[in-house]
Amino acid sequence: MPRNDCHHQLSDLVHDSKIDAVVNGTCTEHAYHEPGQSLHERNRRRVEKWDREGMLGNGSFGVVYQERLRGSDKVRAVKEISKNVAAGEQLDYYRELEAIAKFSHHKYSHCFVRSDDWYESKDTIFIIMEYMELGDLQNYLTRPFPEAEVQQIVSQLLEGLEFMHSSGFIHRDLKPSNVMVVDKGPDWFVKITDFGISKRRQLGVTTLHTMQRGTFGFAAPEVLGLDLEKPGGSYSFAVDMWSLGVLTFYLFTNSIVFSNYGETFMYAKGASSLPIEKMTLRKVSNNAQHFVISLLAPTPNDRPTASVAVGHAWLATPATPDPTT
């Protein structure tokens, strides 16, 4: 199993956020050196022991566990990423560290799940993340959402994508389980998480070649190799806009846009249309429908950028809350 060793690419920000750790089964021990209040305590050593309590979630390239500080009620989330990948695959986990370090800055804290530190063992990267007690958005998708609530969630996600794209990052796996809930409806507060397959676009390069694919159902046609203009499997920031369109459609209708590869293929080649009638039946406004349709353009270049989408007419005027919900 080849190892993707990228230590030489570590930025100072990522390097400085690494902490010492001893991992022993389900217990992790950290030693911190802190300044005291006197000469004899100017470099005081403090030890923390964290015990694993259970799994919070898992994905293609990582598992997230809940841990508790021994002797305390303090909890944290820790994502484990294996350094070993299957032959022929590539996984640049230091790109995730770079994205997390970038978007853990306090000026982005309202858009992204924060991570303060990371550590590693021989075969594993561990990323300490903000613990989100209410879990992810997937847990709440049991019904169609009122338009006012959809607007709240989508505008927050779009702000996060605008930050990412302006910094050269593509998320590549935006979906409900990667949207964490800080406060649930009717006044939703959400944050984007999981930069596990995010990729930073290199200067002067407008597209990225597919290395890890997003989640089917939320993955754009070009991620699935269905971009008829670029059959080689490269893509750009537009993949996130497609995913946001699918997520918006899902919130409105409690259903996915296309349920299988064949349906997506037929739409990508112009042989079928979007199932807009599902939104019409839910009495979704014309502006909201136009917003979704624009994001789900089969050709990537026809989708609005994040910076353009934030100015869409649907987001310009807050929707009226539904008094029946």
Q: CA-to-CA distance for 37 and 33, rounded, in angstroms? A: 13
Q: Which CATH number do you get for residue 182?
A: 1.10.510.10
Instruction: Please indicate, yes or no, whether residues 104 and 243 belong to a single structural domain of this protein.
Output: no
Expressed as residue numbers, the domain containing 35 is 7-129
Residues with Cβ within 8 Å of 114's Cβ and at least 6 positions away in sequence, in order, are 104, 129, 130
- CA torsion, ordered 124, 127, 131, 134, to nearest 10 deg: -70
In a domain, 1, yes or no: no
Distance of CA 269 to the CA centre of its chain: 28
In a domain, 117, yes or no: yes
At which of 94, 109, 129 does a domain end? 129
Structure-block tokens of residue 254: 């409690």
Tell the residue number behind the tokens 């590869």, with chain if given.
261
- CA torsion, ordered 167, 223, 256, 268, to nearest 10 deg: 120
Instruction: Please indicate, yes or no, whether residues 72 and 167 belong to a single structural domain of this protein.
Output: no
Q: Which CATH number do you get for residue 47?
A: 3.30.200.20
Instruction: Please indicate, yes or no, whether residues 12 and 92 belong to a single structural domain of this protein.
Output: yes
What pLDDT, on a 0 to 100 scale, did the predictor assign at position 224?
86
Residues with Cβ within 8 Å of 97's Cβ and at least 6 positions away in sequence, in order, are 10, 14, 17, 118, 125, 127
Distance of CA 71 to the CA centre of its chain: 32
Q: CA-to-CA distance for 172 and 224, rounded, in angstroms? A: 12
- What is the pLDDT tens value at each position of the chain, 325 positions in all? 444 444 445 677 788 889 999 999 999 999 887 776 776 666 678 899 999 999 998 866 678 999 999 999 999 999 998 887 655 455 567 777 888 888 988 899 999 999 879 999 988 999 999 999 999 999 999 999 999 999 999 999 999 999 999 999 899 889 999 999 999 989 999 999 987 555 554 433 334 333 344 577 999 998 888 765 655 556 789 999 999 999 999 999 999 999 898 999 999 999 999 999 999 999 999 999 999 999 999 999 999 999 999 999 999 988 877 666 5
- CA torsion, ordered 214, 315, 307, 174, to nearest 10 deg: -10
Q: CA-to-CA distance for 234 and 227, rounded, in angstroms? A: 9
Instruction: Please indicate, yes or no, whether residues 149 and 281 belong to a single structural domain of this protein.
Output: yes
Instruction: Please indicate, yes or no, whether residues 212 and 288 belong to a single structural domain of this protein.
Output: yes
Nearest CA to 3 out of 124, 95, 117 is that of: 124
Query: Where is 165: in which H helix or E strand?
Result: helix 147-166
Structure-block tokens of residue 33: 């050196």
Instruction: Please indicate, yes or no, whether residues 86 and 146 belong to a single structural domain of this protein.
Output: no
In a domain, 204, yes or no: yes
Handedness of CA 126, 132, 136, 137 (dihedral sign): negative
Instruction: Please indicate, yes or no, whether residues 143 and 86 belong to a single structural domain of this protein.
Output: no
From residue 290, give the alpha-carbon distance in Å to each of 183, 298, 304, 309, 311. Answer: 28, 14, 12, 11, 13
Residues with Cβ within 8 Å of 84's Cβ and at least 6 positions away in sequence, in order, are 1, 2, 3, 123
Q: CA-to-CA distance for 94 and 102, rounded, in angstroms? A: 12
Residues with Cβ within 8 Å of 323's Cβ and at least 6 positions away in sequence, in order, are none
Type of residue at 75: V
Instruction: Please indicate, yes or no, whether residues 189 and 306 belong to a single structural domain of this protein.
Output: yes
Instruction: Please indicate, yes or no, whether residues 300 and 204 belong to a single structural domain of this protein.
Output: yes
Number of domains in the chain: 2
Tell the residue number behind the tokens 């050709």, with chain if given.
299
